[in-house]
Amino acid sequence: MVERAGLATACGGVPPTAEKTVVEKMHTVYILESIVNGRHYVGSTNNINRRIADHNAGRVRSTKGYRPWRIIRVEKYATRQEAYRREREIKRYKSGDGFRRLLEATERCLSG
């Protein structure tokens, strides 16, 4: 899983010195991958743990048939509007080269 936020590190994660309360209040854009068939889902939330549990429990209609899911990328934003804007940006290039490059960058961070 790769994280990205305003407080960035080499792979975009929140540095360990960031205050927990700041991170908890952040809004998250996430990319899931279906373990069954490799399909991807992009979403945003203010409670990533609850949302992933919803996806894997079948409480999200659009992802229910592709369970189980794993998180492959997480980006954190200070406001809901920033997170939504980024979610829409990712969804606009989900099927194209931009999405492929984003996934490749995620893999590089995970393997390096």
Predicted pLDDT of residue 10: 39
CATH code that applies to domain 2-111? 3.40.1440
Helix (H) or strand (E) run with residue 31 in it: strand 27-34
- Residue 28, beta-bridge partner list: 45, 76
Percent share of the chain, pLDDT over 90:
59
The pLDDT of 74-81, averaged and rounded, is 95
C-beta neighbour count of 30 within 10 angstroms: 25
Measure the CA–CA gap between 14 and 2, rounded to whole angstroms.
10
pLDDT surpassing 90 at residue 47 = yes
Strands 27-34 and 69-77 come out as: antiparallel
DSSP letter at 24?
H
- C-beta separation of 54 from 1 below 8 A: no
The pLDDT value recorded for residue 13 is 45
